[in-house]
Structure formats: structure tokens, C-alpha cells
Amino acid sequence: MPGGRQGQKNAGAPPGRLWASADHQELLRPFSGPVLGTLRRRLLGWYATHARPLPWRETCDPYRIWISEIMLQQTTVKAVMPYYARFLAAFPTVHALAAATESRVLQLWEGLGYYSRGRNLHRAAQVICAELQGDFPSELAALQKLPGIGRYTAGAIRSFAFDLPAPIVEANTLRLYARLLGYPGDPRSRAGQLLLWEFAERLAQSKTPGQINQALMELGAQVCTPVDPDCLACPLKSCCRAFAEGTQKEIPAPQIRPAVTPVVEATIALRQGECFLVQQRPVGARWAGLWDFVRFPVTSLSESDPLDVECRNRLFCEVHAELQNRHGLRTETLQVLQELRHSVTRYRIRLICLTAESPVGRAITPAAATAGAERHQWLTLQEIERLPMPVTGRKFARALHRQE
């Protein structure tokens, strides 16, 4: 930012805030016009030789680029590749995605996690088709009005699809920028974000902004890695302050991760004849819109308790009570089929999978069904196969198949 605007913005701010702003300008000062020009040339030269051949780099279609960017959020390239191909085979255009059911979208998203991404993709596609005649906007403000598109994703679509200048800051570039600038603070703080986005803005002012942004991300992914960055192979080492000062292993400052909470849950495959009870996760719940077997937290077991006779009896008593209270169902045939361990955000979950027989024809009480989920169904395992499910629900269903 120009000095005048920076001063006006911070008028009346605490001395610490003023010092931080001035300090950031000092970090940015070495990156003048000529230095940025040299940086871009070296970066593009390296990228021309080292860029990975990824399918979303072979297109300028904003739809395909958008799909890839949403999938790549908090997910590795290797994990995304098969999902990207399957998703585009099912929904080759934004119109096809908009016309699909949410259930079908979530089914194809199954296993990628963070399912709100899939729901937002579906909603944004409907907005694009209904309000924009199927055309993607190229302006950042218009892109960020779409569900699920934030500042980074808007910049990626604008620069990669339309080759228009747009700053980008994501995990790889955040690390790269912090080291180039030698920024010792927390790059995820408000002050750190202001600095890095301003630096990204300067870098993006290029004749080929799309290539510049792709190259910055690739350099961060391949060379400027979180652990043991390959500084000697970096084309930008001569203008990297962290490399000059030997602080590349300390920068960026480590992210403070929330404490992990252990949780024990039970899931029950409740059977009537050939059918099993499944319920749709309600809006606002974990895995909203997906289908799962009856599932709830239990308090009678800890994360490390063995499933001996005493612990099983405690568990079975709690499960009997929950089935009665939630669904008005009674069963005397509980059995443990398997245990699964998985993590969701800051929770480490021990999931105990049980089976039980329910009297044929016994209906779920309406009040309990409404409290437990938006919808419930009795379905065969073959019918369940066509529903979108969380990974653990799918593993449980396959275990039931094997048991059959």
C-alpha cells in the first residue's frame, strides 16, 4: 500500500500497530520493480522445466479450474486426481452439475471429506446457471459472492482461467512468501495476512499472472516445502531473506493447532428382515446431507477401555436406552461387529459398530425420528450402496456385506 493510504488507515492506532505496519513496509521494500521483474523471470524459467502435468493446468475452462480448486482445499493432489476425473465425467458442465441432485453430488464427493465443499459447489452451480446464464464472472467481487468461493479461490479462478491479475495466498504460497520476506511473525494472524496479501498483489502484477501464480504454488509445493526446503535448488534463493539469514527452518512460525479431543461413538446396523435403518444427517450436523446408520456418542466407554464383558454390558445398556429414546425401538440382539478409528477436525473418534435385530414391521416413532434426523429409511444393502455416506458408514456397510 502507498505510504499515504497506510498512514490514513492506521491513524489513531496503538503504537504497536503502527510499528508493525512500518516494519512490514521494511520487509516489502527490497522487492522493487526491477527485483520483482527478475524474480518473475527466474520463476517462470523454473516452472517451464519443473511443472507437474496436472489435468486442471491443461485447460482455461473456469468450471474445471473451479472444481479442481475446491477439491484441492485441504486435500492432496494425489487424493484429488481420481475424484476430479470421476466428477467431471458425471458433470462435464456447470449446467450438468446444477441439474443434479445434492445426493448424487455428495455420492461422488464421498471420501474427499469436508462435505460442505460439495454442497457449496452444487449451490454455486445453480446460482451461475439461474442468475448468470451459465457464465463464470471474472471479477473477484462477483466470484466471492458465489457459495464456497473465498478470496484465494476467486483469485485462482480469475488468474488461471482468465489470465487476469489476482493475488493468491494458500498453504504453499503462504510459506514461500513468509520465507522470501523473512517474516518471523504468525503469517495467519491479521497482520501477517495483510503483509502476505500485499506481497501477493505485487507479484501478480504481471503480463502472465496465471503462469506466475501457478509457478508460485508449484515452487512452494516442490521446493519450498514445510520441512527441509531444498533451498539450493530454488530459483529465488538470491532474493530470499530467510535463506540469506539461515532462518528458513524457523519460518513460517508454526501454526498453533487446537487440542485433539477423544470421543467414543456407537453406530448400529438395525435390521428388519433384509432391510437396515439408515438416516440422513440433518442440516448443521457433521456430514449434513449424507446417509448413515444410527449413530450417537456414548459415555459408558473411554477411548482406551477394552471391550471385555463388563465394558460390553455397559455399552449395551446405553445403546438399548438410546434406541428406545431416539427411535422407540427395542432389541435384545446387540452384537459388536468391528471397531473403526478416525478423525474429524479436532476430534479423534473411536467408533464401535454393532448389529441388532428389530421386530419386523415395528415403525420408528415420528417424534424420535424427527429429533434424530431429517429423514430415515429401511433399505437393503444393495439400495444403501447408492446413497452418499461418510467413509466410516461405507466401511460399516461393506463389513455387513462381507458378513452376509
Contact between 134 and 97 under an 8 Å Cβ cutoff? The reply is: no
- Within 10 Å of residue 341's Cβ, how many Cβ atoms? 10
Torsion of CA 20, 23, 24, 26, to 10 degrees: 170
Contact between 353 and 336 under an 8 Å Cβ cutoff? The reply is: yes
User: Choosing from 26, 58, 69, 274, which is the catalytic residue?
Assistant: 69
- Round to whole Å and give the CA distance between 77 and 214: 14
Going by C-alpha positions, the residue among 297, 340, 192, 166 that lies closest to residue 252 is 192
DSSP 3-state of 225: coil
228: left (phi over 0), alpha (psi -120 to 50) or beta: left
- For residue 60, the cross-strand partners are none
**69 among known catalytic residues:** yes
**Torsion sign, CA atoms 67, 68, 74, 75:** positive
Q: Tell how strand 347-357 and strand 261-272 pair up.
A: parallel
Q: How much is the CA Rg of the chain, to the nearest whole Å?
A: 26
Residue 95 has which C-alpha cell? 449446467
- Round to whole Å and give the CA distance between 212 and 165: 10
Q: Which residues are catalytic?
A: 69
